[in-house]
Structure 1
Amino acid sequence: MNRIVAIARLQALGRHGALVWPITILAIAFAVNLVVFASISDTTTDDPVTAALASIYITALAFGAMAVSQHFPFALGMSVTRREFSAGLGLFVLVQAIAYSALLVVLQSIEDYTNGWGLRLRFFGLGFINHYAPPVQFLMYAVPMLLMTLVGVAAGVVYIRWRVNGVLTATAALLLLLGATAALLGVFDRWPAVGHWLTHTSPVALFAGWPLLLVAALGAGSWLALRRATA
């Protein structure tokens, strides 16, 4: 266990940029939105909501991929076992998601207290998260953060295991699957049912419940693939 914790700490030390850049990009996106909405003196939109919060999640995805593609070969060279690397990376990803999500909950609370930073702007609250208690808000931030990071980890694992051809094949297969699913929904006229399900499912289930199943699947798949990967 001590060795796994040490590997997680090395991930943090070796990925200083990975810890700082998501916050930096989020801060830049927030500042830009503040300037833009402050410059709009006459707006008919109540509580405008931006999609810029996605920037921290996209950055987490990118660094999840880098954590595997760049550090896995180095770890093997330092006599770290695949199991230890996987466990250490998992611990680091979990702590990172907890830290970022706690920060987002605090910022959302400030946003709510200041009535959208004095501009009725919803950058962190997205117009509905602020209706829930802080523990629920935390889950609604943390589970998507875990999901996006593990998507990046999975992409890195595919690259390590099957290189560029594997990444391209996986991308093509995913596009085909999504396209086929969309086509079948159209042929059987099931899009209204999908819309009804989305609008009648609670945000907690959409942001924290169903994504948690994908987190489990990606985590298990990445673990199994890394156990057979070579640098």
Structure 2
Amino acid sequence: MTAVIEQPIVSTEPRSRFNEVWRVVRLHAVTPSVFFGIPWIILGGAWLVMVVIGLIAGSAGADTDKMAEGMRYSWAVLSPQWYLVVVGVQAIGLTLSFALGFGATRRDFWLGTSLMFGIVSVLNAIAIATLVQLEKATNGWWLNISMFDALWYGQNGWLVDFYTTLALQLFVLFIGASVTTVYLRWRMRGMLILAFGAIALILAGVAIATFTQSWPAIFEWFGGIGIVGVFSIVLGLAAAFAVGGYLVIRRATPR
């Protein structure tokens, strides 16, 4: 008689790649204040300062038209961008080892982080572009101030404001993230090489443009491509940082 021993069936079905990537997004979303809370607190604080200035100027009978024109160059609308560089650093430096411990691959981690950056940038771009239009519709929140309707914003319509904000946010996020991958891969030696290399490249470009008297042509070229063209370059640089960060993180060692 032949004994038949039933063996348990072990499922070998591979896990969905998107599910693995989405797990990383959910991991980042555990602390939404990092991506949404603090940047909007910074932006809200800048807006509150503008409102207080508008109230004081209006009560004092100042020329609010000149005040609003001056506010268009305050850069307050860009105040969260500097913090978003730190967000990019934290997204890699503080989360990579944790994600790897839960079984995520470096590729999935980078793709999930990039997807999170995209979600954050899209939502922020929608909000800021909409706030620009609200500010214009209410004549500066009924105080004739220019907080969001500043710099290039408010001159080319909602879609351009959305596109430029999206490009800028992706750019700063990927700068922080990709620089952090360099540190994880080569530690301080890599950071020093990167810093000195970037400084040398910038100085070389400035020197070439100066000695060849190319500055007028450069400014004319940037003026010719317009604001959309300029931020298309910014978006291209963001993509370059994203690809570079992916190539480096494949061999990065978390602390």
Same fold per TM (> 0.5)?
Answer: yes
Secondary structure at the counterpart of residue 178 of structure 1: helix
Q: Alpha-carbon deviation of 1:127?
A: 4.8
What's the counterpart of residue 19 of structure 1? 36
Task: Output the aligned Cα RMSD.
Answer: 1.8
Per residue, is there more helix in 1 or in 2? 1
Output the TM-score relative to the length of structure 2.
0.84
Residue identity opposite 1:4 in structure 2: V
Structure 1 residue 169 displacement after superposition: 2.1
The Cα of 1:147 is off from its aligned counterpart by 0.7
Percent of residue pairs identical = 28
Counterparts of 1:55-74 in structure 2, within 5 Å, are: 55-74=79-98
Letter aligned with residue 111 of structure 1: E
Alignment of 1:1-231 (within 5 A): 1-40=18-57, 41-42=62-63, 44=66, 47-48=69-70, 49=72, 50-207=74-231, 209-231=232-254
1-side partners of 2:52 and 2:35: how far apart?
26
Amino acid at match of 1:226: I
Change (3 A) 1:127 1:83: closer
Quick one: which amino acid aligns to residue 138 of structure 1? F
Q: Who wins on radius of gyration, i.e. which is larger?
A: 2
Q: How far did 1:70 drift?
A: 0.9
TM-score, with normalisation over the residues of structure 1?
0.92
Q: Distance in 1 between matches of 2:152 and 2:173?
A: 23
SS of residue in 1 equivalent to 2:30: helix
3-state SS, counterpart of residue 171 of structure 1: helix
- In the alignment, the residues of structure 1 paired with residue 169 and residue 202 of structure 2 have an alpha-carbon distance, to the nearest angstrom, of 22
Farther-moved stretch of structure 1 (56-65 vs 31-40) = 31-40
Aligned length: 230
Which shifted more, 167-176 or 142-151?
Answer: 167-176
Instruction: Structure 1 unaligned segments of length 5 or more: list them.
Output: none
Q: CA deviation at 1:15?
A: 4.8
Contact 1:83 1:227 (8 Å CA) reproduced? yes
Per-residue CA shift, 1:4-33, capped at 9, x if unaligned? 112101111145333210111111112112
Describe the superposition over 1:81-127 as per-residue Cα deviations: whole angstroms up to 9, x where unpaired.
10111111011110010111111012111111012223433322225
Using the alignment, how far apart are the partners of 2:102 and 2:45 within structure 1?
A: 37
Cα offsets for 1:124-157 (capped at 9, x unmatched): 2225432333223211111111111111111111
Specify the SS of the correspondent of 2:69.
coil
Contact 1:68 1:160 in 2 (8 A): no
